[in-house]
Amino acid sequence: MASVQISARIDPALKDAVDAYCRSHGIVVNHFIQQALLDRLEELDDIEDLKKLRHEPTRPFSDVLAGLGLDDPPL
């Protein structure tokens, strides 16, 4: 995959914390930041999915069991 450079201004304490974490765990800072950005995008996407799911109609549990053929009481 091709790479491009981005720039952002962050708190120096945050930069020091990222550097220290990456150094102590043997992680390259570029990889750490790329993974953090990907994770955050996935979280935001999941949040949007949850918002959509909240507005979907629900079914009673008994209907779900009946649809699966599990509504018969055990003998």
Cα dihedral value 35, 40, 42, 44, nearest 10: -170
What SS3 class is residue 36? Answer: helix
- Spatial separation of the C-alpha atoms in residues 17 and 21, rounded to whole Å: 6
Q: What is the pLDDT of residues 7-43, one digit of tens each?
A: 999 999 999 999 999 999 999 999 999 999 999 999 9
Which pair of tokens denotes residue 32? 């750490």
Q: What is the pLDDT of residues 42-75, one digit of tens each?
A: 999 999 888 888 888 888 998 999 999 888 766 6
Residue 74 confidence (pLDDT): 63
* Residue 34 pLDDT: 96
Q: Which residues contact 28 (CB under 8 A, 6 or more apart)?
A: 22
Q: What is the pLDDT of residue 14?
A: 97
Helix segments in the chain, DSSP class H: 12-25, 29-54, 61-67
